[in-house]
A and B are shown apart, each in its own frame.
Chain A
Amino acid sequence: MTRIDQQIPRSVVNGIGWPALPDANAAGMLALQQQLAQSQWWSPEIVCTQQQTQLMQVLAHALDTIPAYAQRFQMAGLEPRVPALLEAWLDIPILKRSELRMAGETFMSQRIPPEHGKLSKVQTSGSTGTPITAYGTRVTALFWRAFTLREHLWQCRDLSGRFAAIRPEGTLLPGRGQRAHGWGPATDVVYASGESFTLSSRTDIPTQAAWLQEVRPDYLLSLPSNLIALARHCRERGIALPNLREVRSYGEVAGDELRQLCRAVWGVEVKDMYSAQEVGYMALQCPEHAHYHVMSEGVRLEVLDAAGRQCAPGERIGTASQYADVPGRTSGLSEFSSRALGRYCADPTIAIGADQTYAYRGASGGCAAVDDARREGLRIPITGTSWLSVRHRVACRGKYSALGGRQVRRFYLRSRKYQRHRRMSRILCVWELGGGYGHIAALAPLAQALRVRGHEVTLVLKDLFYAEAILGTTGLDYVQAPVW
């Protein structure tokens, strides 16, 4: 057993085993890791300055090669010049997923530098149910892999272990596991790694559990809601995964319930990641804590309140969403317009839980938040990007499960909107219309809390196949969400 931080990369020079002299691709990856290892300890001011420098490049490229952006800025009353745009950053209109979808290829760069490599297509249905098509380049793929490897390095994994992933990706057929040598391109370009196993998350939970017993993984990756269902199933059936050392989660909020279940049922900790297909990695769980560090070398992430202001450290709840661009990535150099523009609303429903904080580790979001964080002893709560929209029904579009049931109830019952609509009795909870079936477990505590107070609660779910396993004992009603 060798931790990755003690593992030697593959060396390609005769007679040289250590330190390794790797091939060009591996050296490129390690060179990025070396920079990430440095920048994670930089002061907030330096991080901010470097982001600004990269943002200038992104904006300049967008202005130069994508006419739609210049028009967009002008329509917002902004001068379409880089310095002016940077100064007026908060006035740059936020690009929403729906806009991106409607725009088609309008935001596509007309002159992608050839050094960025060929385009690859990314299709994501997303948690909001607004499917979009985005494009990345070899540069964006490289940064994606670099952050993947950073996460392995941060968590000191043993790459010789067996890695199992249960994913929703459409190319996988339910019930049919796949096996491969190596954990994937992020690791395999540099290191030798063990076997990996992949299964579709559309596979029913009992079959997933049986598959895991067969695979005997050291590491398991899946969506939080799937993991919760699996853990409950394993607990009920007394299924052990004796080799399991760690659970990795992504795509949904990893709340307390998930962490507690994994600890109780499998005796392992959860390491969570915050990413979106079209944006890349936005935050990774701290190696030493349960909160997250923003991948500031790849994205500028703003956490905004309802008025579009940056949330202050310590701010617990607000109507907020996060906006990201990717200054170190294709950043408008590909057809993926949000990357060129910046201030792209990555997904207003994806959030880092409101009770979760990230300790400053040199990488962080906006400068103001960082400044405040320093004053507060280097801890920055990421405000919940939860969005509670109440018209005549409550559309629960926030990750309240991350708060834990009691906190959710306390927050919700205090909210002005609730006070205004407290008499309402029929509530529809909708969330996940995307590629995964997830968020059922995440919604359940809120739905139950509302039901306890006499409201009629119905959940609209992407995939009813799993609903019974998760909601069977709750008594909540659920119906099929629209199928795209």
Chain B
Amino acid sequence: MHTDTPVIPYSIVPGITWPALSDTRAVNLLALLQQFDQSQWWPLELLRERQMQQAQRLLLHAGQSSPGYRERLTRVGLPADGRIAAEDWSRVPMLLRAELQAGYAALRSTALPSDHGSVQEDHTSGSTGRPVRFAKTALTDLFWRAFTLRDHLWHGRDFTQRLAVIRACDAGQALPPDGRHYSGWGGATDGIYPTGPASLLNIETDIEQQFDWLLRQDADYLLTYPTNLRALVQLSAQRGVRPTRLREVRTASESLDTDLRALMQSIWNVPLIDMYTTREAGYIALQCPQHAHYHVMAEGVLVEILNADNQACVPGEIGRVVVTVLHNFALPLIRYEIGDYAEVGAPCPCGRGLPVLTRILGRSRNMLTFPDGSRHWPRFGYSGFADIAPIRQLQLVQHSVEEIEARLVVDAALNVEQEVRFTAHLQTALGHPFRIRFTYLDSIPRSANGKYEDVLSLIDVDSVMGNTG
């Protein structure tokens, strides 16, 4: 939804408001955006060429300043100093999540160029609660902000309006009933563009309180996680009331069920814009301004989607997401297997050369395993739930190839007939007559990083997939 309100940066020169003559911080961002405006239309081959050149610079740096990477390169017979030809890229070993967890210290650069700015260490708690440490620089933060702005500009947001955010926060932060309030939208826009106010609420807040808070904010834009959004929309439908000014919802951090878009349109009548980001790798893909699929942020990450034979997937094929973060010289993430799966898309009709991902499918442990050994991400048929029983929350936990535990949060336990009907519904939706047993809970907590996993496989995933990590 494009706005009629122009987006004009702050100007620091007296008497000049438009076009703005901005400060250093702003022009650095805008200079990147100008380049993004150009590169998004480049042919894929040119993007690949430029990515590979930057990836080679990164590998050279890693080989010369990271003991961990030197060892990894030596192990596969590549020059330890990182000077490799582009055609040898596929020989660079993939970095598994477990290897990053275990080898953080050795993988860090010991000689970060000073002009990359200050280093900040951070960690992502991960869905399993096993933290992944990583380091970022002022420069990687600049790219983060630039991609945030690209998303705003792609989707034509009106910066003068109000933004509401419901997401994971530090413990005790942004609690109900008020959450926290800010005068601007955040680091990507503050000081660069004038914006309206923003409000933040901790996602651990009860959904009823969340919805009341959202109504009070009367925001134009909402950012939250897909599962949380679903709960909000369902509650909104039950109450027969919706946030009146809302014009767009953004989602991030979890895989998005395709029916959620339709649900948003039917109940709130607003578009849903999804993003694919991770804390350690930054922006990986943003939703196309004209379509529901995603464009890889090729200017920041080299993304490989690899099949079981470690070959690049073709359009329509699902594979593992392997990311090289092109500008993080503090902790190089080179061919980092992030743990997600994605489906490769055909070139986008919008004309952008940026690679296309049709779906982001989440992690392998969110896949169900079938008796024949096949594995895939299930579709629940959420839309059919309401015909059976008022189910507030659902999580499927696979204990064996035949048995699935359906954890439900409901106002009243399902009666026998409802359980039978719901079992049949799930079996049909999942495509296999799994044994379904029901467990009733008061709530299904989010994982340590605030994300919600609606499918959890307790089967040894890695052994099935042949991975070591």
A interface residues, Cβ below 8 angstroms from B: 5-6, 8-9, 12-22, 24, 26-28, 30-39, 42-43, 45-46, 49-51, 53-54, 57-58, 61, 113, 115-116, 139, 142, 146, 297, 327-328, 331, 333
23 pairs, CB–CB < 8 Å, chain A vs chain B: A15-B61, A18-B54, A18-B299, A19-B299, A20-B31, A27-B28, A30-B31, A32-B21, A34-B33, A34-B37, A35-B8, A37-B37, A38-B7, A42-B6, A50-B6, A50-B18, A57-B15, A113-B14, A116-B14, A139-B21, A297-B18, A328-B18, A333-B15
B21, B39, B58: which has the most chain A beta carbons within 10 Å? Answer: B21
By beta carbon, the residue of chain A nearest B26 is A31
By beta carbon, the residue of chain A nearest B58 is A15
Do A17 and B53 have beta carbons less than 8 Å apart?
A: yes
B16, B33, B51, B58: which has the most chain A beta carbons within 10 Å? Answer: B16
By beta carbon, the residue of chain A nearest B41 is A5
Given A16-B327, A18-B53, A57-B16, does the pair A33, B34 have CB atoms closer than 8 Å?
yes
B24 at interface by CB-CB < 8 Å:
yes
Do A39 and B139 have beta carbons less than 8 Å apart?
A: no
Distance in Å from the Cβ of B307 to the closest Cβ of chain A?
28
By beta carbon, the residue of chain A nearest B7 is A38
**Cβ 8 A contact of B17, one of A5, A22, A39, A54:** A54
Given A15-B58, A328-B18, does the pair A34, B31 have CB atoms closer than 8 Å?
yes
Given A21-B139, A34-B33, A38-B7, does the pair A115, B12 have CB atoms closer than 8 Å?
yes
B30 at interface by CB-CB < 8 Å:
yes
Do A19 and B35 have beta carbons less than 8 Å apart?
A: yes
Q: Which residues of A contact B299 (CB under 8 A)?
A: 18-19
Do B15 and A14 have beta carbons less than 8 Å apart?
A: no
A8, A38, A54, A142: which has the most chain B beta carbons within 10 Å? Answer: A38
B7, B26, B35, B54: which has the most chain A beta carbons within 10 Å? Answer: B35
Cα of A139 to Cα of B38 in the assembled complex, Å: 25
By beta carbon, the residue of chain B nearest A25 is B27
Distance in Å from the Cβ of B324 to the closest Cβ of chain A?
13
Q: Which residues of B contact A331 (CB under 8 A)?
A: 15
Distance in Å from the Cβ of A330 to the closest Cβ of chain B?
9
Given A15-B61, A16-B57, A27-B27, does the pair A43, B16 have CB atoms closer than 8 Å?
no
Cα of A327 to Cα of B16 in the assembled complex, Å: 8
Cα of A43 to Cα of B24 in the assembled complex, Å: 29
CB-based closest 9 A-B pairs: A31-B30, A14-B113, A30-B31, A34-B34, A31-B27, A27-B31, A27-B27, A113-B14, A35-B19
Distance in Å from the Cβ of B329 to the closest Cβ of chain A?
6
Do A14 and B116 have beta carbons less than 8 Å apart?
A: yes
Residues facing A in B99-158 (CB within 8 A) are 113, 115-116, 139, 142, 153
15 extra interchain contacts, Cβ-Cβ under 8 A, other than A20-B31, A45-B4? A8-B35, A17-B53, A17-B54, A30-B30, A34-B31, A34-B37, A35-B8, A37-B34, A46-B4, A53-B18, A58-B15, A61-B15, A113-B15, A139-B16, A142-B21
**Cβ 8 A contact of B115, one of A14, A58, A142:** A14
Do B116 and A19 have beta carbons less than 8 Å apart?
A: no
Cα of A34 to Cα of B32 in the assembled complex, Å: 9
Cα of A89 to Cα of B246 in the assembled complex, Å: 39
Cα of A33 to Cα of B33 in the assembled complex, Å: 10
Cα of A15 to Cα of B117 in the assembled complex, Å: 13
Do B20 and A35 have beta carbons less than 8 Å apart?
A: yes
Do A6 and B18 have beta carbons less than 8 Å apart?
A: no
Cα of A26 to Cα of B41 in the assembled complex, Å: 22
Q: Which residues of B contact A46 (CB under 8 A)?
A: 4, 6
Distance in Å from the Cβ of B194 to the closest Cβ of chain A?
13
Do A13 and B30 have beta carbons less than 8 Å apart?
A: no
Cα of A42 to Cα of B18 in the assembled complex, Å: 13
Do B19 and A36 have beta carbons less than 8 Å apart?
A: yes
Cα of A57 to Cα of B17 in the assembled complex, Å: 8
A33, A50, A51, A297: which has the most chain B beta carbons within 10 Å? Answer: A33
B9 at interface by CB-CB < 8 Å:
yes
Do A19 and B39 have beta carbons less than 8 Å apart?
A: yes
Distance in Å from the Cβ of A69 to the closest Cβ of chain B?
15
Q: Which residues of A contact B60 (CB under 8 A)?
A: 15
B22 at interface by CB-CB < 8 Å:
yes
Cα of A133 to Cα of B139 in the assembled complex, Å: 46
Q: Which residues of B contact A18 (CB under 8 A)?
A: 50-51, 53-54, 299
Do A113 and B13 have beta carbons less than 8 Å apart?
A: yes
Q: Which residues of B contact A58 (CB under 8 A)?
A: 15
**Cβ 8 A contact of B18, one of A8, A24, A26, A54:** A54
Do B61 and A35 have beta carbons less than 8 Å apart?
A: no
By beta carbon, the residue of chain A nearest B51 is A18
B37, B61, B153, B329: which has the most chain A beta carbons within 10 Å? Answer: B37
**Cβ 8 A contact of B139, one of A6, A13, A31, A297:** A13
B46 at interface by CB-CB < 8 Å:
yes
Cα of A31 to Cα of B19 in the assembled complex, Å: 10
Given A26-B31, A57-B15, A115-B13, does the pair A8, B50 have CB atoms closer than 8 Å?
yes
B440 at interface by CB-CB < 8 Å:
no
B8, B30, B38, B327: which has the most chain A beta carbons within 10 Å? Answer: B38
Cα of A33 to Cα of B20 in the assembled complex, Å: 11
Cα of A54 to Cα of B113 in the assembled complex, Å: 42
B370 at interface by CB-CB < 8 Å:
no
Q: Which residues of B contact A8 (CB under 8 A)?
A: 35, 50
B382 at interface by CB-CB < 8 Å:
no
**Cβ 8 A contact of A53, one of B17, B28, B35, B53:** B17
A12, A20, A28, A53: which has the most chain B beta carbons within 10 Å? Answer: A28
Cα of A17 to Cα of B9 in the assembled complex, Å: 26
Cα of A216 to Cα of B27 in the assembled complex, Å: 37
